[in-house]
Structure 1
Amino acid sequence: MNILALDTSTEACSVAILTDGAVAERFEYGNQHSERLLAMVDGLLAETGLALTQFDAIAFGRGPGSFTGLRIGAGVAQGLAFGVDIPVTPISSLAALAQGVDAPRVLAAFDARMNQVYSAAYARNPQGIVELVGAESVAVPSEVPLPGGNGWIGAGNGWDQYHAVLLEHLKEHVSNWHEQAYPHARDVGRLGAATVQAGKAISAELALPVYVRDDIAVKQVKP
Protein backbone atom coordinates (compact mmCIF):
# COMPACT_ATOMS: atom_id res chain seq x y z
CA MET A 1 0.00 0.00 0.00
CA ASN A 2 1.24 3.49 -0.90
CA ILE A 3 0.17 6.44 1.26
CA LEU A 4 1.08 10.11 0.85
CA ALA A 5 0.72 11.90 4.19
CA LEU A 6 0.75 15.58 5.19
CA ASP A 7 0.61 17.46 8.47
CA THR A 8 0.49 21.24 8.87
CA SER A 9 -1.49 21.46 12.13
CA THR A 10 1.27 23.10 14.21
CA GLU A 11 4.39 25.19 13.61
CA ALA A 12 5.95 22.01 12.22
CA CYS A 13 5.30 21.02 8.60
CA SER A 14 5.89 17.49 7.38
CA VAL A 15 5.28 15.22 4.40
CA ALA A 16 5.79 11.46 4.26
CA ILE A 17 5.45 8.61 1.81
CA LEU A 18 4.74 5.13 3.17
CA THR A 19 5.26 2.18 0.85
CA ASP A 20 4.70 -1.27 2.34
CA GLY A 21 6.71 -0.67 5.50
CA ALA A 22 9.27 1.80 4.11
CA VAL A 23 8.95 5.46 5.10
CA ALA A 24 10.44 8.60 3.56
CA GLU A 25 9.75 11.88 5.36
CA ARG A 26 10.58 15.56 5.28
CA PHE A 27 10.01 17.61 8.42
CA GLU A 28 10.57 21.34 8.94
CA TYR A 29 9.84 23.94 11.61
CA GLY A 30 8.52 27.38 10.80
CA ASN A 31 5.33 29.07 9.70
CA GLN A 32 5.86 28.90 5.94
CA HIS A 33 3.54 25.99 5.25
CA SER A 34 1.90 27.61 2.24
CA GLU A 35 5.31 28.17 0.63
CA ARG A 36 6.95 24.87 1.57
CA LEU A 37 4.30 22.13 1.52
CA LEU A 38 4.01 21.49 -2.23
CA ALA A 39 7.77 21.76 -2.66
CA MET A 40 8.22 19.12 0.03
CA VAL A 41 5.68 16.87 -1.71
CA ASP A 42 7.43 17.29 -5.05
CA GLY A 43 10.80 16.57 -3.46
CA LEU A 44 9.61 13.32 -1.87
CA LEU A 45 7.91 12.16 -5.07
CA ALA A 46 11.17 12.72 -6.94
CA GLU A 47 13.14 10.95 -4.19
CA THR A 48 10.91 7.86 -4.21
CA GLY A 49 10.22 7.83 -7.96
CA LEU A 50 6.48 7.54 -7.37
CA ALA A 51 3.69 9.34 -9.21
CA LEU A 52 0.50 10.51 -7.52
CA THR A 53 -1.47 7.95 -9.53
CA GLN A 54 0.35 5.18 -7.67
CA PHE A 55 -1.03 6.10 -4.24
CA ASP A 56 -3.94 4.36 -2.57
CA ALA A 57 -4.87 7.47 -0.57
CA ILE A 58 -3.70 10.82 0.75
CA ALA A 59 -3.76 11.14 4.53
CA PHE A 60 -3.71 14.57 6.14
CA GLY A 61 -3.79 16.03 9.64
CA ARG A 62 -7.33 17.34 9.85
CA GLY A 63 -6.92 19.11 13.20
CA PRO A 64 -7.32 20.43 15.74
CA GLY A 65 -4.48 22.91 15.51
CA SER A 66 -3.54 26.09 13.70
CA PHE A 67 -6.54 27.37 11.73
CA THR A 68 -4.40 28.57 8.83
CA GLY A 69 -2.25 25.45 8.82
CA LEU A 70 -5.29 23.16 8.79
CA ARG A 71 -6.81 24.96 5.82
CA ILE A 72 -3.55 24.70 3.91
CA GLY A 73 -3.16 20.98 4.60
CA ALA A 74 -6.76 20.11 3.77
CA GLY A 75 -6.69 22.22 0.62
CA VAL A 76 -3.49 20.63 -0.69
CA ALA A 77 -4.70 17.11 0.14
CA GLN A 78 -8.00 17.79 -1.58
CA GLY A 79 -6.40 19.30 -4.68
CA LEU A 80 -3.89 16.49 -5.12
CA ALA A 81 -6.52 13.80 -4.57
CA PHE A 82 -8.97 15.41 -6.99
CA GLY A 83 -6.28 15.60 -9.64
CA VAL A 84 -5.71 11.84 -9.75
CA ASP A 85 -9.09 10.64 -8.42
CA ILE A 86 -7.92 8.93 -5.23
CA PRO A 87 -9.52 9.02 -1.76
CA VAL A 88 -8.34 10.85 1.34
CA THR A 89 -8.15 9.93 5.01
CA PRO A 90 -8.52 12.84 7.47
CA ILE A 91 -6.53 11.99 10.61
CA SER A 92 -6.72 13.69 13.99
CA SER A 93 -3.52 15.68 14.50
CA LEU A 94 -3.69 14.84 18.21
CA ALA A 95 -3.86 11.14 17.33
CA ALA A 96 -0.86 11.50 15.02
CA LEU A 97 1.09 13.13 17.84
CA ALA A 98 0.14 10.32 20.23
CA GLN A 99 1.04 7.69 17.63
CA GLY A 100 4.59 9.02 17.53
CA VAL A 101 5.10 8.86 21.32
CA ASP A 102 6.64 5.63 22.62
CA ALA A 103 4.10 5.01 25.38
CA PRO A 104 0.97 2.87 25.84
CA ARG A 105 -1.19 5.81 26.97
CA VAL A 106 -0.73 9.40 25.83
CA LEU A 107 -2.46 12.65 26.73
CA ALA A 108 -1.84 14.86 23.69
CA ALA A 109 -2.29 18.62 24.03
CA PHE A 110 -1.83 21.50 21.60
CA ASP A 111 -1.68 25.17 22.51
CA ALA A 112 -5.05 26.56 21.36
CA ARG A 113 -4.18 30.18 22.26
CA MET A 114 -6.63 32.19 24.41
CA ASN A 115 -5.17 30.38 27.45
CA GLN A 116 -6.70 27.09 26.26
CA VAL A 117 -5.45 23.74 24.97
CA TYR A 118 -6.84 21.18 22.57
CA SER A 119 -6.46 17.77 24.18
CA ALA A 120 -7.34 14.10 23.81
CA ALA A 121 -6.30 10.84 25.47
CA TYR A 122 -5.16 7.81 23.45
CA ALA A 123 -4.45 4.19 24.36
CA ARG A 124 -2.41 1.93 22.10
CA ASN A 125 -4.11 -1.28 20.88
CA PRO A 126 -2.38 -4.66 20.38
CA GLN A 127 -1.58 -3.69 16.77
CA GLY A 128 0.31 -0.62 17.96
CA ILE A 129 -2.31 1.87 16.75
CA VAL A 130 -3.57 4.54 19.14
CA GLU A 131 -7.30 4.74 19.81
CA LEU A 132 -9.22 7.68 21.23
CA VAL A 133 -10.36 7.36 24.84
CA GLY A 134 -13.19 9.81 25.48
CA ALA A 135 -13.32 12.80 23.12
CA GLU A 136 -11.24 15.64 21.75
CA SER A 137 -11.82 18.84 23.71
CA VAL A 138 -10.75 22.43 24.14
CA ALA A 139 -10.45 23.82 27.67
CA VAL A 140 -8.30 25.93 29.94
CA PRO A 141 -5.33 23.86 31.19
CA SER A 142 -6.76 23.54 34.70
CA GLU A 143 -9.89 21.84 33.33
CA VAL A 144 -8.42 19.39 30.80
CA PRO A 145 -10.40 16.12 31.04
CA LEU A 146 -8.62 12.80 31.54
CA PRO A 147 -9.97 9.25 31.75
CA GLY A 148 -9.31 7.37 34.97
CA GLY A 149 -6.11 5.55 35.79
CA ASN A 150 -2.47 6.49 36.13
CA GLY A 151 0.59 6.21 33.92
CA TRP A 152 -0.38 8.69 31.20
CA ILE A 153 2.39 10.45 29.25
CA GLY A 154 1.88 14.06 28.18
CA ALA A 155 3.05 15.39 24.80
CA GLY A 156 2.49 18.35 22.51
CA ASN A 157 3.16 22.09 22.50
CA GLY A 158 0.28 22.54 24.95
CA TRP A 159 2.50 20.79 27.49
CA ASP A 160 5.45 22.99 26.54
CA GLN A 161 3.35 26.07 27.23
CA TYR A 162 1.28 24.97 30.25
CA HIS A 163 3.08 22.01 31.83
CA ALA A 164 3.09 23.51 35.33
CA VAL A 165 -0.69 23.98 35.38
CA LEU A 166 -1.36 20.64 33.67
CA LEU A 167 0.82 18.70 36.10
CA GLU A 168 -0.82 20.38 39.08
CA HIS A 169 -4.29 19.65 37.68
CA LEU A 170 -3.64 16.04 36.58
CA LYS A 171 -1.39 15.12 39.55
CA GLU A 172 -0.62 11.39 39.80
CA HIS A 173 -2.49 10.53 36.59
CA VAL A 174 0.42 11.75 34.44
CA SER A 175 3.81 10.16 35.13
CA ASN A 176 5.88 12.22 32.66
CA TRP A 177 5.70 14.52 29.65
CA HIS A 178 7.76 14.94 26.46
CA GLU A 179 9.14 18.34 25.49
CA GLN A 180 9.04 19.65 21.91
CA ALA A 181 6.85 16.84 20.59
CA TYR A 182 5.04 17.53 17.30
CA PRO A 183 2.86 15.43 14.99
CA HIS A 184 4.76 13.86 12.10
CA ALA A 185 3.42 12.98 8.67
CA ARG A 186 4.80 9.44 9.02
CA ASP A 187 2.36 8.87 11.89
CA VAL A 188 -0.48 10.51 9.97
CA GLY A 189 0.39 8.02 7.22
CA ARG A 190 0.39 5.02 9.51
CA LEU A 191 -3.02 5.93 10.88
CA GLY A 192 -4.18 6.67 7.34
CA ALA A 193 -3.10 3.23 6.16
CA ALA A 194 -5.10 1.64 8.98
CA THR A 195 -8.10 3.72 7.90
CA VAL A 196 -7.76 2.58 4.29
CA GLN A 197 -7.47 -1.06 5.38
CA ALA A 198 -10.65 -0.62 7.42
CA GLY A 199 -12.46 0.66 4.31
CA LYS A 200 -13.00 4.12 5.79
CA ALA A 201 -11.25 6.34 3.25
CA ILE A 202 -13.48 9.11 1.86
CA SER A 203 -13.78 11.07 -1.36
CA ALA A 204 -11.69 14.20 -1.82
CA GLU A 205 -14.58 16.67 -1.58
CA LEU A 206 -15.06 15.61 2.05
CA ALA A 207 -11.48 16.60 2.97
CA LEU A 208 -12.32 19.22 5.57
CA PRO A 209 -10.47 20.52 8.64
CA VAL A 210 -11.82 19.85 12.13
CA TYR A 211 -11.26 22.85 14.37
CA VAL A 212 -12.88 21.57 17.63
CA ARG A 213 -13.30 25.22 18.63
CA ASP A 214 -15.54 27.18 16.27
CA ASP A 215 -15.03 30.63 17.83
CA ILE A 216 -11.82 31.59 16.03
CA ALA A 217 -11.77 35.02 17.63
CA VAL A 218 -13.12 36.22 20.96
CA LYS A 219 -15.11 39.39 20.50
CA GLN A 220 -14.87 42.04 23.18
CA VAL A 221 -18.29 43.36 24.15
CA LYS A 222 -18.36 46.84 25.66
CA PRO A 223 -20.78 47.40 28.58
Structure 2
Amino acid sequence: MKHNLLAIDASTEALSLALHFKGKTFTHFEVCPQQHSQKILPLVDALLSEANCTLKDLDGIAYGRGPGSFTGVRIGVAVAQGLAYSAGLKLHGVSTLQAMAQEALQTQGCDEVISAIDARMGEIYLGHFGKDEQGNAIAKQEEIVVKPDALHDSFNGVNGVGTGWQTYADDAQRLNVSVIDSISLPNALYMLAIGDIAFSNGDTVMAQDAQPHYVRDTVTWKKLPGRE
Protein backbone atom coordinates (compact mmCIF):
# COMPACT_ATOMS: atom_id res chain seq x y z
CA MET A 1 0.00 0.00 0.00
CA LYS A 2 1.16 3.51 -0.85
CA HIS A 3 -0.82 5.45 1.74
CA ASN A 4 -1.09 5.62 5.50
CA LEU A 5 -4.82 5.21 6.04
CA LEU A 6 -7.39 4.72 8.77
CA ALA A 7 -10.51 2.75 7.83
CA ILE A 8 -13.64 2.63 9.99
CA ASP A 9 -16.97 0.89 9.59
CA ALA A 10 -20.02 0.93 11.87
CA SER A 11 -22.70 0.12 9.30
CA THR A 12 -23.81 -3.26 10.68
CA GLU A 13 -23.75 -5.18 13.96
CA ALA A 14 -19.97 -5.26 13.58
CA LEU A 15 -17.70 -2.38 14.51
CA SER A 16 -14.37 -2.54 12.77
CA LEU A 17 -11.30 -0.36 12.37
CA ALA A 18 -8.07 -0.84 10.48
CA LEU A 19 -4.96 1.31 10.31
CA HIS A 20 -2.13 1.01 7.82
CA PHE A 21 0.90 3.03 8.89
CA LYS A 22 4.48 2.77 7.64
CA GLY A 23 4.01 -0.71 6.24
CA LYS A 24 2.25 -2.18 9.27
CA THR A 25 -1.45 -2.88 9.71
CA PHE A 26 -3.40 -2.71 12.96
CA THR A 27 -7.00 -3.91 13.28
CA HIS A 28 -9.99 -4.24 15.55
CA PHE A 29 -13.19 -6.15 14.78
CA GLU A 30 -16.06 -6.98 17.11
CA VAL A 31 -19.76 -7.63 16.93
CA CYS A 32 -21.35 -5.18 19.38
CA PRO A 33 -24.88 -4.14 18.36
CA GLN A 34 -25.99 -0.70 19.59
CA GLN A 35 -22.62 0.05 21.19
CA HIS A 36 -20.86 1.66 18.24
CA SER A 37 -21.26 5.28 19.34
CA GLN A 38 -19.75 4.56 22.76
CA LYS A 39 -16.85 2.46 21.52
CA ILE A 40 -15.69 3.90 18.24
CA LEU A 41 -13.64 6.93 19.34
CA PRO A 42 -11.80 5.13 22.19
CA LEU A 43 -10.96 2.36 19.74
CA VAL A 44 -9.60 4.86 17.22
CA ASP A 45 -7.39 6.31 19.94
CA ALA A 46 -6.22 2.84 20.95
CA LEU A 47 -5.34 1.90 17.38
CA LEU A 48 -3.39 5.12 16.81
CA SER A 49 -1.54 4.56 20.08
CA GLU A 50 -0.70 0.99 19.10
CA ALA A 51 0.74 2.26 15.81
CA ASN A 52 2.53 5.13 17.58
CA CYS A 53 1.05 7.77 15.29
CA THR A 54 -1.49 10.59 15.25
CA LEU A 55 -4.25 11.42 12.80
CA LYS A 56 -2.09 14.15 11.31
CA ASP A 57 0.51 11.52 10.38
CA LEU A 58 -2.00 9.87 8.05
CA ASP A 59 -2.82 10.50 4.40
CA GLY A 60 -6.56 10.06 4.84
CA ILE A 61 -9.54 8.10 6.10
CA ALA A 62 -11.68 5.45 4.42
CA TYR A 63 -15.12 4.97 5.89
CA GLY A 64 -17.93 2.47 5.39
CA ARG A 65 -20.53 4.51 3.50
CA GLY A 66 -23.22 1.79 3.65
CA PRO A 67 -25.53 0.20 2.90
CA GLY A 68 -26.44 -1.13 6.31
CA SER A 69 -28.16 0.09 9.45
CA PHE A 70 -29.21 3.71 8.95
CA THR A 71 -28.04 4.60 12.46
CA GLY A 72 -24.76 2.72 12.11
CA VAL A 73 -23.97 4.26 8.74
CA ARG A 74 -24.63 7.75 10.12
CA ILE A 75 -22.37 7.08 13.11
CA GLY A 76 -19.53 5.94 10.85
CA VAL A 77 -19.84 8.88 8.49
CA ALA A 78 -20.12 11.43 11.31
CA VAL A 79 -17.07 10.07 13.13
CA ALA A 80 -15.04 9.98 9.91
CA GLN A 81 -16.02 13.59 9.20
CA GLY A 82 -15.11 14.74 12.71
CA LEU A 83 -11.73 13.03 12.61
CA ALA A 84 -11.00 14.40 9.14
CA TYR A 85 -11.94 17.94 10.19
CA SER A 86 -9.68 17.77 13.22
CA ALA A 87 -6.64 16.65 11.23
CA GLY A 88 -7.24 18.27 7.85
CA LEU A 89 -7.59 14.91 6.09
CA LYS A 90 -9.54 13.86 3.02
CA LEU A 91 -11.88 10.87 2.92
CA HIS A 92 -13.13 8.13 0.66
CA GLY A 93 -16.40 6.27 1.22
CA VAL A 94 -16.23 2.51 0.65
CA SER A 95 -19.27 0.36 -0.05
CA THR A 96 -19.85 -2.19 2.69
CA LEU A 97 -20.91 -4.68 0.02
CA GLN A 98 -17.66 -4.07 -1.87
CA ALA A 99 -15.65 -4.55 1.33
CA MET A 100 -17.13 -8.03 1.83
CA ALA A 101 -16.43 -8.89 -1.79
CA GLN A 102 -12.86 -7.65 -1.33
CA GLU A 103 -12.43 -10.01 1.62
CA ALA A 104 -13.66 -12.92 -0.47
CA LEU A 105 -11.23 -12.06 -3.27
CA GLN A 106 -8.28 -11.67 -0.90
CA THR A 107 -8.89 -14.63 1.38
CA GLN A 108 -10.90 -17.12 -0.67
CA GLY A 109 -9.46 -16.67 -4.15
CA CYS A 110 -12.83 -15.74 -5.66
CA ASP A 111 -13.15 -14.08 -9.06
CA GLU A 112 -16.79 -13.04 -8.74
CA VAL A 113 -18.90 -12.34 -5.64
CA ILE A 114 -22.52 -11.53 -4.85
CA SER A 115 -22.62 -9.61 -1.55
CA ALA A 116 -25.86 -9.38 0.41
CA ILE A 117 -26.64 -7.68 3.73
CA ASP A 118 -29.91 -8.32 5.53
CA ALA A 119 -31.87 -5.06 5.10
CA ARG A 120 -34.79 -6.13 7.34
CA MET A 121 -38.39 -5.78 6.15
CA GLY A 122 -37.94 -8.92 4.06
CA GLU A 123 -35.27 -7.33 1.86
CA ILE A 124 -31.54 -7.54 1.23
CA TYR A 125 -28.95 -5.05 0.03
CA LEU A 126 -27.30 -6.66 -2.97
CA GLY A 127 -24.11 -5.99 -4.91
CA HIS A 128 -22.40 -7.93 -7.70
CA PHE A 129 -18.60 -7.67 -7.96
CA GLY A 130 -15.84 -8.93 -10.19
CA LYS A 131 -12.06 -8.63 -10.01
CA ASP A 132 -9.96 -5.97 -11.72
CA GLU A 133 -6.43 -6.41 -13.08
CA GLN A 134 -4.94 -5.71 -9.64
CA GLY A 135 -7.15 -8.32 -8.01
CA ASN A 136 -9.48 -5.85 -6.30
CA ALA A 137 -13.27 -5.93 -6.16
CA ILE A 138 -15.00 -3.83 -8.79
CA ALA A 139 -18.76 -3.36 -9.18
CA LYS A 140 -20.43 -5.13 -12.08
CA GLN A 141 -23.92 -3.82 -11.24
CA GLU A 142 -25.49 -0.97 -9.35
CA GLU A 143 -26.12 -1.83 -5.71
CA ILE A 144 -29.81 -2.32 -4.89
CA VAL A 145 -32.26 -3.30 -2.19
CA VAL A 146 -34.60 -6.11 -3.18
CA LYS A 147 -36.80 -8.87 -1.84
CA PRO A 148 -34.80 -12.07 -2.39
CA ASP A 149 -37.85 -13.96 -3.67
CA ALA A 150 -38.07 -11.40 -6.48
CA LEU A 151 -34.71 -12.57 -7.86
CA HIS A 152 -35.04 -15.18 -10.57
CA ASP A 153 -31.69 -15.39 -12.39
CA SER A 154 -29.47 -18.32 -11.48
CA PHE A 155 -26.03 -17.14 -10.36
CA ASN A 156 -24.44 -20.40 -11.52
CA GLY A 157 -22.48 -21.14 -8.36
CA VAL A 158 -21.09 -17.62 -7.91
CA ASN A 159 -19.77 -17.14 -4.39
CA GLY A 160 -22.03 -15.22 -2.02
CA VAL A 161 -21.10 -13.43 1.19
CA GLY A 162 -23.01 -11.58 3.88
CA THR A 163 -25.90 -11.88 6.29
CA GLY A 164 -28.42 -11.57 3.48
CA TRP A 165 -27.60 -15.02 2.14
CA GLN A 166 -27.48 -16.50 5.63
CA THR A 167 -30.90 -15.09 6.52
CA TYR A 168 -32.40 -16.20 3.22
CA ALA A 169 -30.57 -19.49 2.77
CA ASP A 170 -33.43 -21.04 0.79
CA ASP A 171 -33.23 -18.24 -1.77
CA ALA A 172 -29.44 -18.61 -1.96
CA GLN A 173 -29.91 -22.28 -2.77
CA ARG A 174 -32.67 -21.56 -5.28
CA LEU A 175 -30.48 -18.98 -7.04
CA ASN A 176 -27.45 -21.32 -7.01
CA VAL A 177 -25.33 -18.99 -4.87
CA SER A 178 -22.38 -20.71 -3.19
CA VAL A 179 -22.38 -19.05 0.23
CA ILE A 180 -19.13 -18.45 2.13
CA ASP A 181 -20.38 -18.50 5.72
CA SER A 182 -17.12 -17.17 7.18
CA ILE A 183 -17.74 -13.75 5.61
CA SER A 184 -20.97 -12.38 7.04
CA LEU A 185 -20.28 -8.72 7.95
CA PRO A 186 -18.07 -5.99 6.46
CA ASN A 187 -14.58 -5.64 7.92
CA ALA A 188 -12.67 -2.35 7.71
CA LEU A 189 -9.45 -4.26 7.09
CA TYR A 190 -10.61 -4.93 3.54
CA MET A 191 -11.49 -1.29 2.97
CA LEU A 192 -7.81 -0.37 3.12
CA ALA A 193 -6.90 -1.72 -0.32
CA ILE A 194 -9.94 -0.04 -1.88
CA GLY A 195 -9.12 3.22 -0.10
CA ASP A 196 -5.49 3.06 -1.17
CA ILE A 197 -6.47 2.92 -4.84
CA ALA A 198 -8.96 5.75 -4.37
CA PHE A 199 -6.34 8.01 -2.77
CA SER A 200 -3.87 7.18 -5.56
CA ASN A 201 -6.50 8.22 -8.11
CA GLY A 202 -7.53 11.36 -6.25
CA ASP A 203 -11.00 9.92 -5.67
CA THR A 204 -11.46 11.67 -2.32
CA VAL A 205 -13.67 14.31 -0.72
CA MET A 206 -13.34 16.94 1.95
CA ALA A 207 -14.96 16.20 5.30
CA GLN A 208 -18.05 18.33 4.62
CA ASP A 209 -18.74 16.39 1.42
CA ALA A 210 -18.64 12.87 2.86
CA GLN A 211 -21.98 11.17 2.29
CA PRO A 212 -23.70 7.93 3.31
CA HIS A 213 -25.12 5.61 0.67
CA TYR A 214 -28.34 4.04 1.88
CA VAL A 215 -29.39 2.35 -1.41
CA ARG A 216 -33.06 2.34 -0.38
CA ASP A 217 -34.06 4.43 -3.42
CA THR A 218 -33.10 1.67 -5.87
CA VAL A 219 -35.65 -1.13 -6.04
CA THR A 220 -34.99 -3.34 -9.04
CA TRP A 221 -32.25 -5.79 -9.98
CA LYS A 222 -30.96 -5.28 -13.49
CA LYS A 223 -30.17 -8.30 -15.57
CA LEU A 224 -26.57 -9.41 -15.30
CA PRO A 225 -24.42 -8.98 -18.44
CA GLY A 226 -25.39 -11.59 -21.02
CA ARG A 227 -28.77 -12.22 -19.40
CA GLU A 228 -30.76 -9.32 -20.85
Same fold (TM over 0.5): yes
Moved more, 149-158 or 84-93: 149-158
Once the two structures are superposed, the pairs formed by residues 64-213 of structure 1 within 5 Å of their partners are 64-101=67-104, 102=108, 103-144=110-151, 150-168=156-174, 170-171=175-176, 174=177, 176-181=178-183, 182-213=185-216
Alignment partner, residue 31 of structure 2 = 29
Separation in structure 2 between the aligned mates of residue 189 and residue 201 of structure 1, nearest angstrom: 14
Moved more, 179-188 or 43-52: 179-188
Separation in structure 2 between the aligned mates of residue 21 and residue 137 of structure 1, nearest angstrom: 36
Alignment partner, residue 17 of structure 1 = 19
1:23 is displaced (CA, Å) by 1.5
**Percent of aligned pairs sharing the same letter:** 39
Separation in structure 1 between the aligned mates of residue 150 and residue 194 of structure 2, nearest angstrom: 28
Q: Is the 8 A contact 1:78 1:205 kept in 2?
A: yes
Separation in structure 2 between the aligned mates of residue 114 and residue 153 of structure 1, nearest angstrom: 24
SS of equivalent residue, structure 2 residue 194? helix
Show structure 2 runs of 5+ residues with no match: 219-228
1:208 is displaced (CA, Å) by 1.5
1:144 is displaced (CA, Å) by 3.9
Separation in structure 2 between the aligned mates of residue 197 and residue 185 of structure 1, nearest angstrom: 19
Q: Is the 8 A contact 2:172 2:179 kept in 1?
A: no
Q: Is the 8 A contact 2:165 2:171 kept in 1?
A: no
1:167 is displaced (CA, Å) by 2.1
Separation in structure 2 between the aligned mates of residue 25 and residue 125 of structure 1, nearest angstrom: 25
SS of equivalent residue, structure 2 residue 84? helix
1:20 is displaced (CA, Å) by 5.1
Q: Match for 1:46 among 40, 45, 49? A: 49
Alignment partner, residue 218 of structure 1 = none
Separation in structure 2 between the aligned mates of residue 145 and residue 190 of structure 1, nearest angstrom: 33
Amino acid at match of 1:184: N
Q: Is the 8 A contact 1:18 1:186 kept in 2?
A: no
Amino acid at match of 2:162: G
Separation in structure 1 between the aligned mates of residue 189 and residue 147 of structure 2, nearest angstrom: 30
The count of residues paired between Structure 1 and Structure 2 equals 210
Show structure 1 runs of 5+ residues with no match: 216-223
Separation in structure 2 between the aligned mates of residue 144 and residue 107 of structure 1, nearest angstrom: 13
TM-score for both structures, normalised by structure 2: 0.87
1:180 is displaced (CA, Å) by 4.8
Amino acid at match of 2:204: A
1:135 is displaced (CA, Å) by 0.8
SS of equivalent residue, structure 1 residue 135? coil
Amino acid at match of 1:13: L
Root-mean-square deviation (CA, aligned residues, Å) is: 1.7
Separation in structure 1 between the aligned mates of residue 22 and residue 161 of structure 2, nearest angstrom: 28
Separation in structure 1 between the aligned mates of residue 128 and residue 29 of structure 2, nearest angstrom: 25
